[in-house]
Copies of this chain bind each other. A is one copy, B any other.
Amino acid sequence: MGVILAENDYGKARVRLLRVTRTSDHHDIKELTLSILFEGDFEAAHTKGDNRNILPTDTIKNTVYVLAKEYTAEQIEDFALHLVEHFLTYNPQVSQVRIEMAEHPWTRLSMNGQPHRSAFTLAGGERRSALVIGTREATTVRAGVEGLIVLKTTKSAFEGFRRDPYTTLKETRDRILSTAIRSNWLYSGDEVAFGPAWHGVRKTILETFAEHDSHSLQETLYAMGEAVLKSFDEVSEISFSLPNKHYLLVDLTPFGLENSNEVFLPTDEPHGLIEATLKKK
């Protein structure tokens, strides 16, 4: 019996970085977490212990710091593209570089109503993300959000669903709808303005979530994706992975009280999970 190495990759994960840019009247910061994965000609390392084609993951990490120093990227997509190009240029043994990047949402503190020049607060668990995959033939750029938690108190129903003998869920015309949006979208074309595009897509997703008259989280997902695809020429595809974070109406009838959609129990588990990818035709 023979054994073959069907697929393999390697790299460095959870590389962390703070970049400070200082101008005469204020400082800017950018905090990033990266993971970099290589595919390529690494079979000898697996089968023969021959490491000649293995650039150490420690070097991958060093490279991130060097390039962060030498190249001041305004947008994370640009920094990821720069890293991909670097690794492909200097590593003929590597056929594909995959970079995942997350930007942490530091925002400027205000002081007497003015933005402070050098002090910041972390605005939460949301992350702006980028996923750039490059080979010598082609490079794809995806941008996204993770951990964007939203909730609406109305315009959410769930009725007319399939029933079987184990179905006890009641139909509802008015429930809490909450999810942690994880989405990424694929850019097409060479001249994408990554900053405005990201802010625009995020705003479109949020406004659609808020206004949509929802018959299910599936329908809301589709509406958000459709709105993005219709509004942004530079986006050709968008994916969502949405947990349905259930808020259960607390039963107060044992205490002689009616709960008119006032008091809910937030739950983390179990949760529904709705996933889909929408594309332009």
Residues of chain A whose beta carbon lies under 8 Å from any beta carbon of chain B: 1-22, 27, 29, 31, 35, 37, 42, 45-59, 61-63, 65-66, 68-70, 90-91, 93, 105-106, 109, 111-112, 116, 118-126, 148-155, 158-169, 176, 206-207, 209-211, 214-216, 218-219, 221-222, 225-226, 229-230, 237, 243-244, 247, 250, 252, 254-255, 257, 259, 261-281
Contacts and interface: CB of A to CB of B under 8 A. Distances in A.
A264 to B, nearest CB: 4
A271 B21 contact: no
**Which one of A46, A48, A160, A210 has the greatest number of beta carbons of chain B within 10 Å?**
A46
A120 to B, nearest CB: 5
Contacts of A3: 225-226, 229-230, 278-281
A219 B49 contact: yes
Contacts of A159: 51
Given A106-B151, A111-B207, A262-B21, A165 B255 contact: yes
**Which one of A57, A70, A91, A259 has the greatest number of beta carbons of chain B within 10 Å?**
A57
14 contacts: A3-B281, A6-B276, A9-B275, A10-B275, A14-B269, A20-B176, A29-B153, A54-B216, A55-B161, A56-B167, A69-B252, A69-B257, A70-B257, A91-B162
Nearest to A68: B263
Nearest to A16: B266
**Which one of A49, A215, A243 has the greatest number of beta carbons of chain B within 10 Å?**
A49
A18 B51 contact: no
**So how many copies of this chain end up in the complex?**
4
Contacts of A35: 273
A48 to B, nearest CB: 8
A234 to B, nearest CB: 13
Contact of A150 (B61, B121, B219): B121
A15 B272 CA distance: 10
Given A7-B276, A46-B276, A276-B8, A22 B109 contact: no
A45 B219 contact: yes
A222 B119 contact: no
Contact of A14 (B45, B262, B271): B271
A70 to B, nearest CB: 7
Contacts of A16: 265-267, 269-270
Given A116-B210, A118-B152, A209-B119, A18 B263 contact: yes
Contact of A263 (B19, B152, B280): B19
A230 B150 CA distance: 38
Contacts of A13: 243, 269-273
